[in-house]
Amino acid sequence: MAASGSGSSRADNGYGSQPPRRRKGPGALATAYLVIYNVVMTAGWLVIAVGLVRAYLAKGSYHSLYYSIEKPLKFFQTGALLEEYLLIAKYLPGIVPSSVVLTAFQVMSRVFLTWAVTHSVKEVQAEDSVLLFVVAWTITEIIRYSFYTFSLLNHLPYLIKWARYTLFIVLYPMGVSGELLTIYAALPFVRQSGLYSISLPNKYNFSFDYYTFLILVMISYIPIFPQLYFHMLHQRRKVLSHTEEHKKSE
């Protein structure tokens, strides 16, 4: 799933750098930490992007590029979990504007795709659908983290803001398609191997069918994806028109 939405009505910045009466911005130390974190994450996803390009050039085809960026992908995608935890535990008070619930959804779904599907079902790693969502995520995350970095430093180039709130229009459906196709491709292998499934009878009187679970996950995209997508479109209208008014009034 592409760029996370900006949940607040303060549209221009990622992080709180508003006139003091509105909201307390982060302290200097917190800002420093956050800048470092976002720079590291931007760099990480750039590494993945570069890795993809190099592998493509070396192999001459775009198939099976997953293997060349497997490790950094897992590392940096799972790193987003830390970010989400900090948001939820409110160690980032009022700093990140994105709605906690929405980003939680996104992070959970991404981590799920990375570990519970692509890593766990080795047979799908060579699928083209994996490339589809990896590319979508990579571009999205590079823009998102650089957006946060620049916002924290109070020098947000309009281009980055524009990119964050516009490219998702293509990247989001692209990512979702890649994710769904990958899960779909994994289904027969899950059924065959009984991966992560437990059946009766057993002494804990519990059963779980991972195959059915995956199908339910796929179905859940139907109500959730449009909501997130329209939320982002709505944010886009707010953010980009707000900036124009700002420019006009100057």
Considering beta carbons, is residue 61 or 202 the nearer one to another protein?
Answer: 202
Q: How far is the CB of 224 from another protein (least distance, A)?
A: 18
- Confirm whether 67 is a catalytic residue: no
Whether 179 is catalytic is: yes
CA distance 45 to 239: 25
Identify the active-site residue in 37, 172, 210, 211. 172
- Give me the helix-helix angle, 168-193 and 210-249, nearest 10°: 170
Q: Is the peptide bond before 201 cis (omega within 30 degrees of 0)?
A: yes
Q: Between residues 206 and 247, which has the closer beta carbon with respect to another protein?
A: 206
| Lookup: tokens for 121 | 């079902």
Nearest CA to 26 out of 38, 13, 17 is that of 17
CB neighbours of 95 closer than 8 A, spacing ≥ 6? 15, 16, 25, 26, 30, 34
Give the shortest CB-216-to-another protein separation in angstroms: 14
12/209 with CB nearer another protein: 209
Collapsing DSSP to helix, strand or coil, 34 comes out as: helix
Radius of gyration of the chain (CA): 20
| Closest separation in Å from C-beta 29 to another protein | 31
Rounded CA-CA distance 110/49 in Å is 17
- Please, which residue, 206 or 245, has the CB nearer to another protein? 206
**Smallest distance, Å, CB 212 to another protein?**
14
Q: What are phi and psi of 42, to 5 degrees?
A: -60, -45
CA distance 187 to 44: 31
Q: Least distance (Å) from another protein to the CB of residue 202? A: 7
Q: Enumerate binding residues for another protein (CB under 8 A).
A: 200-207
- Point out the catalytic residue in the list 70, 83, 141, 179: 179
Query: Toward another protein, which CB reaches closer, 63 or 90?
Result: 90
Active site positions, annotated: 172, 179
